[in-house]
């Protein structure tokens, strides 16, 4: 498959002037980003790489980090984690408290905010130095020691994230947070502040295309079975209340973040990351989804 | 892949004595079925066939029919159908009215009861003789003119389906049912009463493994793109509020019915149907899910 | 108290030109009414009467009839009725199915549609000729044999009341309707089609001001305790999701209908009915509420 | 009316041995109270007083304090307060976040936790020394400078009240809390920790029976109109999701607290407080409600 040709084609066909969508502005640090940034990077298990636009520029990966923390918790704790978080799509906006109330503090899945907080709580109980250990885990998968948190973004979230503070306290009232709410939120916002470029993200997520193994060294990070299950969760839960639509249009497992990034994987074949900060009403990158829809249509590559 | 060996292995390992789950009893006709029935049939695009147990015995396919009526409506009306029904998982029990109220009468997807009623309404507006035309459509895909409705089951549903009558009237109040509620429900219950064996079901669903084409004749029923999209919807919405769990455990697109049937497809490879009438609390066959989980684990075949 | 003076004053101060609110148009028969009609009638336990405007013209009392059917069922069945319907305000729009689902088919109170249907179901089981017997009960309280149903309005509701059909079927699915849905709805819509003038309504509701006794004859229709309890229910549940607001502003037990009527009682003192067809978003008469707010402010008569 | 005789009668008829209900145990300080305590005090506008049992022993008035803080905010800010809090019953358990989400951070009424927090936020903006000033306001109405907060109880709530922390942060995310969440919660928990005896409570609430005036001095604290409106809110919202039931059974405006206290007023006549720590599932005192139901039945005194 000549991915470079296809990616070029789509890139030049995209309507960058269309003003649809707006940059996340609930925290000042995110609102500052240039809405016209656009990058894409695809890398295959065969070692091929294709980047276009601002593919080498780091941005705030935000909720995409939830897949990485889930991976570490699943690796460390195994199937026990499913006693405290489900694997069902949420069927509600990503920050909803309603579902949580009806389900007694058990989040629907680990890729919504509440679920990711429970995962953070598990990691805090398990890791000596949660922030450092998690960062090293990510750097190791990415093969890139330069990846880092952005303390300004993390601090800004802490200051403005009243709804997330509400979520964490609510779960604490159901005893589904075992450490202090402050510690959990501090780690959660820190993890969301991770910065990566499309190139770094695509390389990191090759892990899920390669069924749990680092393609360059052949080292197993998680088992084949665990990698499949994480892909399955990305498929049904990766895009908040737009997960069905992404599956319908793009047909690949993936995860989005309010920084405008989307990463998707074709198991056994490739990993691709797109970045465009303008978001639709459901919090997902408008051009990112359009690009990926074109990609799977033109390459006829879909898991379905 | 030696499917016959694997299927035999799983079959002999299954714990048939475990009493978990109970037969659907909300209508007398369904309650009569022997809870110990068990059948499985797998057929590949290469023309191979493997059946075990009561794989040749017809049962009530119930909600599995929703995939077939969706297919016909999608074929006839194209993307216009998505103006009246969504593609998002429901995140709620399959018969919930709550979601429908908050979303102004637009069902979340075509594989829950409300969504399938809207599809029925579309077909009534489009077909000369809805019941006959739909039956012929199914017989044609199945390559089997003996397939039929069971009028007793359909009649029994009409008599006891007060919640479905409520659903249809509720959508009518939002103007999302255009024909008379009686006509829509009559067609809906009729379609649910379709009877097929595991063998017939697996053959019928080869269509979705074959990307929209009848494998034996090469005739296109729906386009590649439409077939992929229907598979995507089965993946995220095929098992009511257990769709995420089925994707997590089995990793294939599929659909269940309260008659105890489950059918799943591996795009590009095979179609498989299982039948066991004992249902879990979410309305899906207990042994059916167990069987399919073992199948994708042992064959290492999952789209993820 | 010189009620005539106060009523005259308020009447001439009301801003009839303000275009706020609109006539109920969900059924054609109700939409036909002249939006500028306005009538008021107050009668005291001492036998005084004050009418102004179109106080002698019959209109569709709609949901106000729910108080009368509740009274008959409470008289016939006593406290057993509270096993199938609650006494709590609904906290939701009057036609909501959500609450009903969470509370397993038990309506919150007898003054919302679902609750009144359960009351109808009880009366059908108890009365030989439900429609005739209920009509006679009302005529007897009103002391006026000319009061009647409007079959055109009842028929129009049956044809357009899909949401009410949904409600009844939904409760039937929870076994909280014991007769046939058709029979219950037929009686329900018939009862809603009752027509009375402000004068007739005010006379009828003197019963609740007189603690259950017909003031002219001294005959007890219901016990003091039952009358108080019905007043209590009107206080907390009489205005759908605006009950708290009505209590806050007017401070008297009362009941509204989408025909634009409102009737209120001051226990031990008087009964008052207002009619103005323009409704606010919550389904209550705009000028009706304004008039009554002025009345209790100017007369300083409030139960609080 | 010989209240002393009636109160004695009811007191000796009450079934104190019935073990129904349990003491609030969500904070250790409240769990310590002796479940068998029982006190009642009634005082009339004529200056009569009747106390029985532990009527002179101070207990944690908890949510009863919400009426007092509402009174101060209403006095200071007038009708502007209704822009940030409603007057409708909640139709949901008292600590529910669901309603708040659907209504964009505007609490249903000032007598549920969320509403009382918004009132606290208003008072903080208005008062120089919120805690001292509020305490002095209460002592002044009660005519008793010995009334005080219990810092142990307040501290215990801060430590265990995760759900309340969630509520406050949630409203902050809707911009309906203007001061810091910490300050609001600190004041809120402090106010809930007020301790009074039945005698003190009954005396304090004479204010609402006396239409806003201190009966002994004739000094107006709030206007007649404001007093009536607060009574109206107590009537429809004073008992969480049991408000309709209390109105139905007792027929007087009132307010309960999880400390086991209930206070009720008969406008123009008397004020009565009961204390019994065993609570029903809706958080209201079992014996307290029974006592008041008997009281209004035997004295035939109800506003309806």
The answer to whether residue A94 scores a pLDDT higher than 60 is no
Q: Percentage of chain B surpassing pLDDT 70?
A: 97
Residues of B in contact with C163 (CB under 8 A): 169-170, 173
* Nearest chain B residue to A85, by CA: B245
B partners (3+ CB pairs within 8 A) are A, C
Please identify every residue of A annotated as catalytic.
63, 66, 188, 240, 258
Distance set, CA C156 to CA C30, C95, C150 (Å)? 9, 18, 10
Across the interface, whether the CB atoms of B236 and A89 are under 8 A apart is answered: yes
pLDDT, position C95: 52
Q: Using a CB-CB distance cutoff of 8 angstroms, which residues of chain C are in contact with residue B97?
A: 97-98, 101, 166, 170
Using CB atoms, pick whichever of A91, A232, A303 lies closest to residue B90.
A91
> Which of C82, C83, C240, C244 to mutate against chain D (most D CBs within 10 Å)?
C244
Contacts of D297 (CB under 8 A, 6+ apart): C225
Taking the CA of residue D76 and the nearest CA in chain A, the distance in Å comes to 28
Mean pLDDT of B281-288: 93
Contacts of A209 (CB under 8 A, 6+ apart): A45, A215, A265, A266, A267, A268, A269, A270, A271
Structure tokens at D110: 């000032």
Strand D59-60 relative to strand D195-196, pairing: antiparallel
Q: Which residue does chain B place closest to A232, by CA atoms?
A: B248
The residue with tokens 């793009």 is: A250
User: pLDDT tens digits for D86-125?
Assistant: 999 987 664 567 778 778 899 999 999 999 999 999 999 9
Q: Give the residue-averaged pLDDT of C118-123.
A: 98
A–D CB contacts, 8 A cutoff, strictly below? 49
User: Smallest CA–CA separation between A239 and chain B, in Å?
Assistant: 11
For B293, phi then psi, to 5°, come to: -65, -45
Q: Which residues have a Cβ under 8 Å from the Cβ of D47 and sit 6 or more positions away? A: D215, D216
Helix (H) or strand (E) holding C199: helix C198-209
- CB contact under 8 Å between A165 and D167, yes or no, is no
Q: Do A166 and D166 touch (CB under 8 A)?
A: yes
CA-to-CA distance for D242 and D3, rounded, in angstroms?
26
Q: Which residues of D touch C233 (CB under 8 A)?
A: 244, 247-248
| DSSP string computed for A31-55 | HTS-TT--EEEEEETTS-EEEEEST
pLDDT at C92: 65
Supply the pLDDT for residue C159.
79
Tokens 């405290």, residue located:
A84
To the nearest whole Å, the CA of A283 is away from the closest chain D CA by 17
Cβ contact A244–B89 (<8 Å) = yes
User: Does A90 or D236 have the greater pLDDT score?
Assistant: D236
- φ, ψ for residue B240, nearest 5 deg: 50, -130
Give the chain A residue nearest B297 (alpha carbons).
Answer: A225
* B126 counts as catalytic: no
Cα separations (Å) of B222 from A98, B67, B141, B207? Answer: 40, 13, 11, 9
Give the pLDDT confidence of A126-158 residue by residue, as tens digits. 999 999 999 999 999 999 999 999 999 999 888
As a whole number, mean pLDDT of residues A272-293 equals: 95
> How far is Cα D150 from Cα D165, in angstroms, rounded to an integer?
20
Crossing angle between the packed helical segments A130-142 and A198-209, to the nearest 10 degrees = 80
Q: Which residues of A touch B91 (CB under 8 A)?
A: 88-92, 99, 108
Q: How confident is the model at residue B95 (pLDDT cuts 50, 70, 90)?
A: low
Residues of C in contact with B172 (CB under 8 A): 162
Position B110 confidence tier, pLDDT thresholds 50, 70, 90: very high
- Phi, psi (degrees; rounded to nearest 5) at C272: -140, 140
Query: Residue D255: beta bridge partners?
Result: D263
Q: Is the pLDDT of residue A117 over 70?
A: yes
Instruction: State whether B96 and C101 contact (CB < 8 Å).
Output: yes
Tell me what pLDDT residue C227 has.
96
Residues of chain B in contact with residue A90, where contact means CB-CB under 8 angstroms, are 91
CB count, 10 Å around CB of A127? Answer: 17
> Minimal Cα–Cα distance from C123 to chain D, Å?
22
Which residue of B lies nearest to A110 if distances are taken between CA atoms?
B244
Residue range C72-85: mean pLDDT, rounded: 97
Which site among C26, C97, C105, C182 would you substitute to test the B interface, given the most B Cβ atoms closer than 10 Å to its Cβ?
A: C97
Active site residue B258: yes
Query: D80 and A80 in contact (C-beta within 8 Å)?
Result: no
Which residues of C does the annotation mark as catalytic? 63, 66, 188, 240, 258
Q: How close D28 gets to chain C, by Cα (Å)?
A: 32
- Residue A95 banded pLDDT, cuts 50, 70, 90: low
The predicted pLDDT at position C221 comes to: 98
Residue B27: predicted pLDDT: 82
Q: What pLDDT does A158 receive?
A: 80
Positions in chain D whose pLDDT score sits under 50: 94
Which of C248, C251, C267 lies nearest to residue D304, judging by beta carbons? C267
Cα separation of D181 and D124, whole Å?
A: 11
Q: What is the mean pLDDT of residues B99-122?
A: 92
Of A90, D139, D236, B250, residue with least CA distance to C247:
D236
Helix (H) or strand (E) holding B139, with range, is helix B130-142
Shortest Cα–Cα distance, D126 to chain A (Å):
24
For chain D, which chains pass the contact test of at least 3 CB pairs under 8 Å?
A: A, C
For residue D288, the number of C-alpha atoms closer than 13 Å in the C-beta half-sphere is 33
Q: Which residues of C touch D267 (CB under 8 A)?
A: 303-304
Query: Which of B90, B248, B253 has the CB atom closest to A304's CB atom?
Result: B253
- The residue of chain D nearest to residue C85, with distances taken between CA atoms, is D245
pLDDT value at residue D194: 98
**Residue C90 pLDDT level (bands cut at 50, 70, 90):** confident
Taking residues A186-191, report their average pLDDT: 97
Residues C91, D89: C-beta atoms closer than 8 Å: yes
Q: Nearest Cβ partner of C169 from B96, B98, B165?
A: B165
Chain position carrying tokens 């299927």? B7
- Of A84, A81, A88, A228, the residue nearest B239 (C-alpha): A88
Do C236 and D91 count as a contact with CB atoms less than 8 A apart? no
Higher per-residue confidence, B157 vs C120: C120
CA distances from residue D192 to A58, C257, D152 in whole angstroms, order as listed = 50, 40, 12
Marked catalytic residue, from B67, B118, B258, B265 = B258
- Structural tokens at position B50: 């493997």
DSSP notation for D151-213? HHHHHHHHHH-HHHHHHHHHHHHTT---S-HHHHHHHHHHHHT-EE-HHHHHHHHHHHHTTTB
- Contact A204/A135 with Cβ under 8 angstroms? no
In this structure, are residues D234 and D256 in contact, taking their beta carbons and an 8 Å threshold? no
Q: From CA C211, how far away is CA D166, in angstroms rounded?
A: 46
Q: How far apart are CA B15 and CA D45, in angstroms?
A: 76
pLDDT at res. D99: 75
A173 vs D contacts (CB less than 8 Å): 162-163, 166
List residues of C whose CB lies inside 8 A of any D CB: 86-92, 99, 108-109, 224-225, 227-229, 231-233, 235-237, 241-245, 247-248, 251, 253, 267, 297, 300, 302-304
Residues of A with CB under 8 A from a CB of D: 96-98, 101, 162-163, 165-170, 172-173, 181
Q: Which residues of A touch D172 (CB under 8 A)?
A: 162
* pLDDT exceeds cutoff 80 at A164: yes
Residues of chain D with C-beta less than 8 angstroms from the C-beta of A170 = 97, 162-163, 166
What confidence tier does C100 reach under pLDDT thresholds 50, 70, 90? confident
């Amino acid at each position: 498959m000549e991915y470079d040709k296809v990616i070029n084609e789509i890139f030049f066909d995209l309507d960058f002037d269309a003003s649809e969508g707006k940059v996340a502005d609930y925290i000042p640090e995110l609102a500052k980003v240039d809405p016209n940034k656009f990058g894409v990077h695809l890398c295959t298990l065969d070692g091929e790489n294709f980047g276009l636009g601002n593919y080498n520029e780091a941005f705030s990966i935000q909720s995409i980090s939830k897949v990485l923390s889930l991976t570490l918790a699943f690796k460390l704790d195994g199937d026990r984690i499913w006693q405290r978080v489900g694997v069902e799509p949420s069927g509600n906006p990503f920050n909803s408290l309603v579902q949580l109330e009806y389900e007694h503090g058990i989040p629907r899945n680990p890729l919504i905010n509440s679920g990711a907080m429970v995962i953070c709580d598990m990691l805090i109980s398990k890791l000596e130095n949660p922030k450092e250990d998690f960062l090293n885990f990510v750097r190791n998968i990415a093969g890139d020691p330069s990846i880092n948190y952005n303390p300004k973004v993390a601090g800004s979230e802490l200051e403005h994230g009243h709804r997330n503070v509400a979520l964490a306290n609510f779960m604490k009232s159901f005893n589904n947070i075992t450490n202090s709410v402050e510690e959990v939120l501090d780690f959660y916002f820190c993890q969301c502040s991770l910065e990566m470029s499309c190139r770094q993200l695509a390389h990191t997520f090759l892990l899920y295309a390669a069924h749990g193994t680092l393609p360059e060294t052949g080292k197993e990070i998680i088992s084949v079975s665990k990698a499949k299950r994480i892909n399955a969760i990305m498929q049904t839960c990766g895009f908040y209340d737009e997960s069905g639509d992404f599956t319908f249009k793009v047909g690949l497992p993936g995860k989005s973040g309010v920084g405008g990034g989307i990463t998707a994987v074709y198991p056994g074949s490739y990993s691709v990351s797109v970045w465009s900060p303008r978001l639709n009403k459901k919090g997902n990158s408008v051009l990112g989804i359009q690009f990926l829809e074109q990609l799977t249509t033109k390459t006829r590559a879909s898991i379905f």
